[in-house]
A = this chain, B = another copy of it.
Amino acid sequence: MIDENLLLNHGAKRVTFSKGDQLFREGESALNFYQIASGEIKMNNYNEDGKEFIQGIFSIGQSFGEPPLLANVKYPANAEAISDSEVFQLTKEQFLELLSSNPRVHLKITETLAKRLYYKAIMVSEISSQEPEHRILRIIDYLKHVDKVEGQFAYRLDLTRQQLADLTGLRVETVIRATKSLEKKGELQIKKRKVYR
């Protein structure tokens, strides 16, 4: 997370998006840096038969879409507002200028990328080879970890079964059955349809 004033000093614009709006699409060139001021943004892909895969969900203070900006490649996914959102937007030039004049911030960004890479490394190995229950537990544990929640069943998962399915590459029905089975095994709790871990 980059300090708001620093962003504004480097020419950041505040841009608002309504729920459902797309900020950019898969295959487009990366032109801007984004950091969320309010709301939630997801990055996702749709495969040929319309099935969604969610790469990640980002909320206040988090930035997203930097990799293509830094690596000079096209966006590998779409960005879509999950709720009405406001974001700080910098052009690529402004962003690179900010990085070069603030080594501290640059290192912070590098760390952020490193963390995301760590997460993706885990997800890709989990998704590739494990059973549904495994995948689901792992992603929940990751989200719990990100939200810095400690203690058994202290973390309330704020995702629908469908979103959980889209994050793990499974089907809703499979997620529903798997979460129930996990509850039976004591791995998680379901109260008022919400999953606790």
Whether B118 pairs with A120 at a CB distance below 8 angstroms is no
**Complex interface residues of chain A between 127 and 167 (CB less than 8 A to chain B):** 127-130
Does A2 sit at the interface, judged by CB under 8 A? no
CB-contact partner of A103 in B47, B100, B121, under 8 A: B100
Whether B127 pairs with A127 at a CB distance below 8 angstroms is yes
Distance A122 CA – B127 CA, assembled complex (angstroms): 13
Interface string of A47-85 (1 = CB under 8 A from B): 100010101000000000011111111001100000000
Whether B114 pairs with A70 at a CB distance below 8 angstroms is yes
9-residue interface stretch from A12-20, A105-113, A179-187, A188-196:
A105-113
CB closest residue in chain B, given A49: B129
- Shortest A27–chain B CB gap in Å is 12
Whether B110 pairs with A169 at a CB distance below 8 angstroms is no
Residues of B within 8 A of A45 (CB): 125
- Shortest A165–chain B CB gap in Å is 10
Q: How large is the interface on A (under 10, 10 to 19, 20 to 34, 35 or more residues)?
A: 35 or more
Does A115 sit at the interface, judged by CB under 8 A? yes
Residues of B within 8 A of A72 (CB): 111
Does A8 sit at the interface, judged by CB under 8 A? no
Residues of B within 8 A of A124 (CB): 53, 55, 120, 123-124, 127
Whether A118 pairs with B169 at a CB distance below 8 angstroms is no
Whether B128 pairs with A168 at a CB distance below 8 angstroms is yes
User: A interface vs B, CB < 8 Å?
Assistant: 45, 47, 51, 53, 55, 66-73, 76-77, 99-100, 103, 106-107, 109-111, 113-118, 120-125, 127-130, 168-169
List 5 contacting pairs A-B, 8 Å CB cutoff, sorted by A: A47-B125, A47-B130, A106-B106, A120-B121, A124-B124
